[in-house]
Amino acid sequence: MYEIYIARQAVLDKSLKVYGYELLARSDDRVNINNLPSDIATSRVLSEVFNQFGLDSIVDGHNAIVKLSKRTLLDGIVHGLPKSKVLFEINDTFLDDDTIMDEIRRLKSQGMRFIYNNYSLSSNAEPLLPYCDIVKIDVKNVDTIILEHLVQSLEPFRAKALADKVETYDALERCKQAGFDLFQGYFLYEPKIIRSHGMETTKTNLMHLLKELNNPDITTGELEAIISRDVTLSYKLMRYIESAAVMSKNKVASIRTGIIYLGMESIKNWASIIALSSMTEKPVELINQSLIRAHMCQLLAENTDADEPSSYFLAGLFSSLDALLDMPMDDVIKNMPVIDEVKHALLNEGGEINNILQLTLNYEKGNWLAVQDADMEGRSASHAYLKSLKWAEDFQSAISAV
């Protein structure tokens, strides 16, 4: 028996809202599924996603992007898939077979959507472009003039241009200026270079609030006072406390009662999450990924009977603070009174919390060999990841409803 590990990578639009997710996968037989024959890899991904996991549990109602193989195309697996939810990646190797091209034309006429992968000046793409809704271009180390030319060459085909491997905000701005419509890469998790002399007021306030919330010497009364003076934070936190209490039919009349009911560490973590979620100028996907990391780190810690799983949660939650605050992680940590093990994890300086955080980050990026090496102790990374996707989705829904 084999198990498919599924991860996802966001594709964002010009407003940095999620357009869809490219699905990444591996097999647990210590063979990277992306190195398997493409027809086997695609079939495994499709089978697991649609039969075992369920598509919406992975992409949360957004588009799913899956690499398509020739055999999978002809086998008819794609016929029963929801055309409005799935896009299939193809490339110029599909031009070698007239039967394949006929099938692409037929599927396109039925509403199937395709993405041309790895378009460049040397691509033999023109016969396929009329059937593609999106064209993906690797923008790393490509001059802006060439990128502009590539985007302009797509105008006759009315295809959206997707910039792939966008690693920094500077690269994002360059791609926007070149005319790209969609963006994929790890720029979202990098601090944005701010050319000013100080931190914005909202970020300063957030930093101060997180520092107070995570003071290890804070008392119940002090925590109650910190939360109570922020109307939005106290209201949303009380709504969460009330929803948690309903599950056990307990009554919670105040923040102090909630602290006693849920515990100091739990309240501090939830208050930190709600505070981070208030960063409305940052993409929702960045907040969402922070939640996924936090919950996955905690689940992996619980699976190994680690001490203080809440510290693992905090490390995952704070792992994107540099991107949220647009400042180096070293500077973030200087002002954050968290335990040394969490600090070491955030700076990738070793320790068990760091090991779990790195496993989580490697899983997120689809660095499967590193995941396989770290997941040999039965940490069940795939199950933790999928549970965390659902948990983050539910939390975001609950917060947005308040």
Alpha-carbon distances of 282 from 6, 59, 202, 325, 390, rounded to whole Å: 26, 20, 12, 9, 21
In this structure, which topology does domain 4-189 adopt according to CATH?
TIM Barrel (3.20.20)
pLDDT in tens, 101-130: 999 999 999 999 999 999 988 888 889 999
Burial call 185-204: b when 16+ CB within 10 Å, e when fewer: bebbbbbbeeeeeebeeebe
Q: Which residues of 59-73 are buried (b: 16+ CB within 10 A; e: fewer)?
A: bbebbbbbbbbbebb
pLDDT at position 1 is: 45
Q: What is the pLDDT of residues 250-306, one digit of tens each?
A: 566 678 887 887 788 888 888 888 888 876 678 889 999 999 999 999 999 998 888
pLDDT at 28: 58
The residues of the chain scoring below 70 in pLDDT are 1-4, 26-53, 193-202, 242-253, 279-280, 375-379, 398-402
Yes or no: domain 201-400 corresponds to CATH 1.10.3720.10: no
User: Could you tell me if 287 and 276 are in contact, meaning their C-beta atoms sit under 8 angstroms apart?
Assistant: yes
Q: How many residues does the chain have?
A: 402
Going from the C-alpha of 319 to that of each of 107, 150, 297, 339, 376, the distances in angstroms are: 43, 36, 11, 14, 24
pLDDT at 40: 57
**pTM score of the predicted model:** 0.87
Domain boundaries, the chain: 4-189, 201-400
User: Which sign does the torsion angle of CA 181, 182, 183, 188 carry?
Assistant: positive
Q: Which two tokens stand for residue 194?
A: 């701010």
The whole-number pLDDT of residue 247 equals: 45
